[in-house]
Protein backbone atom coordinates (compact mmCIF):
# COMPACT_ATOMS: atom_id res chain seq x y z
CA UNK A 1 0.00 0.00 0.00
CA UNK A 2 1.30 3.46 -0.91
CA UNK A 3 1.93 5.81 1.99
CA UNK A 4 -0.09 8.99 2.31
CA UNK A 5 1.65 12.01 0.84
CA UNK A 6 1.83 15.41 2.42
CA UNK A 7 0.09 18.16 0.50
CA UNK A 8 -0.58 21.86 0.63
CA UNK A 9 -3.65 23.79 -0.47
CA UNK A 10 -2.87 26.64 -2.88
CA UNK A 11 -5.05 29.70 -3.36
CA UNK A 12 -4.78 32.18 -6.22
CA UNK A 13 -5.60 35.62 -4.86
CA UNK A 14 -5.04 39.37 -5.15
CA UNK A 15 -3.62 39.94 -1.66
CA UNK A 16 -1.83 36.81 -0.39
CA UNK A 17 -0.94 38.04 3.09
CA UNK A 18 -4.45 39.35 3.79
CA UNK A 19 -6.03 36.06 2.70
CA UNK A 20 -3.43 34.03 4.63
CA UNK A 21 -4.12 35.98 7.81
CA UNK A 22 -7.87 35.48 7.34
CA UNK A 23 -7.38 31.70 7.11
CA UNK A 24 -5.09 31.80 10.15
CA UNK A 25 -7.99 33.25 12.12
CA UNK A 26 -10.42 30.68 10.71
CA UNK A 27 -8.24 27.64 11.40
CA UNK A 28 -5.91 28.65 14.23
CA UNK A 29 -2.95 28.56 11.82
CA UNK A 30 0.10 30.83 11.91
CA UNK A 31 2.20 32.65 9.32
CA UNK A 32 5.65 31.28 10.14
CA UNK A 33 8.79 33.39 10.03
CA UNK A 34 11.04 32.18 7.20
CA UNK A 35 14.46 30.92 8.30
CA UNK A 36 16.78 33.77 9.16
CA UNK A 37 14.00 36.32 9.74
CA UNK A 38 12.23 37.37 12.94
CA UNK A 39 8.86 37.93 11.23
CA UNK A 40 7.07 37.39 7.95
CA UNK A 41 7.01 41.17 7.39
CA UNK A 42 10.79 41.38 7.78
CA UNK A 43 11.22 38.61 5.21
CA UNK A 44 8.77 40.18 2.76
CA UNK A 45 10.47 43.59 2.99
CA UNK A 46 13.81 41.93 2.19
CA UNK A 47 12.52 40.72 -1.18
CA UNK A 48 12.93 42.65 -4.45
CA UNK A 49 10.14 45.21 -4.78
CA UNK A 50 8.38 43.29 -7.59
CA UNK A 51 8.24 40.15 -5.42
CA UNK A 52 7.02 41.79 -2.21
CA UNK A 53 3.52 40.65 -1.36
CA UNK A 54 3.54 38.04 -4.14
CA UNK A 55 2.97 35.09 -1.83
CA UNK A 56 2.37 34.08 1.76
CA UNK A 57 1.89 30.77 3.54
CA UNK A 58 0.37 29.60 6.79
CA UNK A 59 0.73 26.39 8.72
CA UNK A 60 -0.96 24.41 11.43
CA UNK A 61 1.17 24.97 14.55
CA UNK A 62 0.45 21.39 15.65
CA UNK A 63 1.86 20.07 12.36
CA UNK A 64 -1.25 18.01 11.66
CA UNK A 65 -3.10 20.05 9.02
CA UNK A 66 -1.86 20.89 5.53
CA UNK A 67 0.13 24.01 4.69
CA UNK A 68 -1.85 26.74 2.92
CA UNK A 69 -0.03 28.69 0.20
CA UNK A 70 -1.38 31.94 -1.25
CA UNK A 71 -0.04 33.34 -4.51
CA UNK A 72 -0.83 36.63 -6.16
CA UNK A 73 -2.36 36.38 -9.62
CA UNK A 74 -3.39 39.28 -11.88
CA UNK A 75 -6.90 38.06 -12.67
CA UNK A 76 -9.80 38.10 -10.26
CA UNK A 77 -12.04 35.17 -9.38
CA UNK A 78 -14.75 34.80 -12.03
CA UNK A 79 -16.48 31.46 -11.36
CA UNK A 80 -17.42 29.08 -8.59
CA UNK A 81 -14.55 27.12 -7.06
CA UNK A 82 -14.13 23.61 -8.44
CA UNK A 83 -12.71 22.59 -5.04
CA UNK A 84 -13.64 24.09 -1.70
CA UNK A 85 -12.77 23.60 1.95
CA UNK A 86 -15.17 22.19 4.52
CA UNK A 87 -14.32 23.74 7.88
CA UNK A 88 -15.46 21.09 10.34
CA UNK A 89 -16.78 22.98 13.37
CA UNK A 90 -19.78 20.81 14.26
CA UNK A 91 -18.55 17.26 13.71
CA UNK A 92 -20.78 14.80 15.55
CA UNK A 93 -23.41 17.39 16.45
CA UNK A 94 -26.99 17.18 15.19
CA UNK A 95 -30.18 19.22 15.25
CA UNK A 96 -30.36 22.47 17.20
CA UNK A 97 -26.97 21.94 18.86
CA UNK A 98 -25.34 21.66 15.42
CA UNK A 99 -27.18 24.73 14.08
CA UNK A 100 -26.19 26.81 17.11
CA UNK A 101 -22.53 25.84 16.69
CA UNK A 102 -22.60 26.60 12.96
CA UNK A 103 -24.32 29.95 13.50
CA UNK A 104 -21.86 31.02 16.21
CA UNK A 105 -18.87 30.20 13.99
CA UNK A 106 -20.52 31.89 11.03
CA UNK A 107 -20.97 35.09 13.07
CA UNK A 108 -17.30 34.97 14.11
CA UNK A 109 -16.14 34.57 10.50
CA UNK A 110 -18.46 37.30 9.18
CA UNK A 111 -16.83 39.64 11.71
CA UNK A 112 -13.47 38.72 10.10
CA UNK A 113 -14.76 39.64 6.63
CA UNK A 114 -16.30 36.38 5.39
CA UNK A 115 -19.67 36.42 3.65
CA UNK A 116 -22.52 34.10 4.56
CA UNK A 117 -24.06 32.62 1.41
CA UNK A 118 -26.70 30.14 2.55
CA UNK A 119 -27.78 27.70 5.22
CA UNK A 120 -28.22 24.25 3.73
CA UNK A 121 -30.68 22.56 6.08
CA UNK A 122 -30.41 18.92 7.08
CA UNK A 123 -32.10 16.38 4.83
CA UNK A 124 -32.36 12.58 4.74
CA UNK A 125 -28.66 12.20 3.83
CA UNK A 126 -26.78 15.23 5.21
CA UNK A 127 -26.62 17.34 8.31
CA UNK A 128 -26.95 21.12 8.06
CA UNK A 129 -24.05 23.25 6.85
CA UNK A 130 -23.50 26.91 5.96
CA UNK A 131 -21.93 27.93 2.68
CA UNK A 132 -19.69 30.99 2.89
CA UNK A 133 -17.09 32.99 1.00
CA UNK A 134 -13.72 34.16 2.29
CA UNK A 135 -12.51 37.74 1.95
CA UNK A 136 -11.76 37.29 -1.76
CA UNK A 137 -14.88 35.32 -2.62
CA UNK A 138 -13.54 31.75 -2.40
CA UNK A 139 -16.36 29.43 -1.38
CA UNK A 140 -16.12 27.20 1.68
CA UNK A 141 -18.54 25.41 3.96
CA UNK A 142 -18.98 25.38 7.69
CA UNK A 143 -19.75 21.77 8.39
Q: Is the pLDDT of residue 49 over 90?
A: yes
Total structural domains in the chain? 2
Across residues 29-54, what is the average pLDDT? 94
Q: What are the tens digits of pLDDT across the range 58-110?
A: 999 999 999 999 999 999 888 888 889 999 999 999 999 999 999 999 999 99
* pLDDT at residue 1 in the model: 65
Same domain, 40 and 94: no
30 has a pLDDT exceeding 80 = yes
Residue closest to 99 by CA, chosen among 107, 114, 60:
107
Same domain, 56 and 29: yes
Give the domain extent around 43. 8-72
pTM for this predicted structure: 0.91
With contact defined as beta carbons under 8 Å apart, do 114 and 105 qualify? no
Amino acid sequence: MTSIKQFQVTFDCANPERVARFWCEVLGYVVPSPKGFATWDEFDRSQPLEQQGSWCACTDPSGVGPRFYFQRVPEGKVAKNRVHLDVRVATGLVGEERLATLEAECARLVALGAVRVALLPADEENESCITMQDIEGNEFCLD
